[in-house]
Amino acid sequence: MPAPASEFALYCCELLGTVGLCVARRMFGAYGISTEGLTLAILADLGSGEKLWLKADETTRPLFENAGCERFTYQSRNGPKSMNYYSAPEDAVESHLLMAPWARLALEAALTARKSGPVSRRAPRTASKKMAGASARERPR
C-alpha cells in the first residue's frame, strides 16, 4: 500500500483543485501532482525546502520568468539539468484565488505536452475491442 501524501502535498492538491481533482503520488523522492492523468506540478526539495513547481512550456515560460519564478534545475553527473517546471509564485501558494490562473497555465502546458508527446505504436483500443467481440464468422480471414 502506498504511503499517504504529506500534508504539504495534500494542501497543494487542494490549492490546484480549481482545474480538477488533483492527486499526489510519490515519484523519485518527490511528488507528482496530476489531474485526469496529466501531471501539472511536482513537489520537490532542491536544497532550499520543499516547493511547488508548476508545469510550463514555450508559451507560458515568459509568464513564470516575469513573475520571478525559479526554473526547476537539478545537478546530474553531467552538470545542471532543467525541466519545464517553475516554482509557484510565493503569494499564489498562500491563496486559492491567486493560484487559480497559475494552475490553469500549468494544466494548459500539460495538455500541450500530451499532444506533442511520443506517438503510441500500439493499435487503437477500439479496433482491438471490435475484433475481440466479433464472432468467428465475422472475423477477417
User: If you ran DSSP here, which 8-state letter would residue 38 be given?
Assistant: E
Q: Which helix (H) or strand (E) holds 34?
A: strand 30-35
* pLDDT digit string, tens, across residues 85-128: 999 999 999 999 999 999 999 999 999 988 875 544 444 444 44
**Domain assignment present for 44:** yes
**Domain assignment present for 54:** yes
Looking at the predicted structure, is the pLDDT value of residue 140 above 60? no
**Domain assignment present for 42:** yes
Pick the closest to residue 35 from 91, 100, 85, 107 (CA basis). Answer: 107
Higher pLDDT, 46 or 42: 42
Pick the closest to residue 31 from 68, 63, 61, 4 (CA basis). Answer: 4
For residue 91, give its domain range.
7-133
Q: Say which CATH number the domain at 109 has.
A: 3.30.1460.30
**Domain assignment present for 114:** yes
**Domain assignment present for 89:** yes
**Domain assignment present for 26:** yes
User: pTM to 2 decimals?
Assistant: 0.76
**Domain assignment present for 2:** no
| DSSP β-ladder status, 50-55 and 71-76 | unpaired
**Domain assignment present for 141:** no
Domain count across the chain: 1
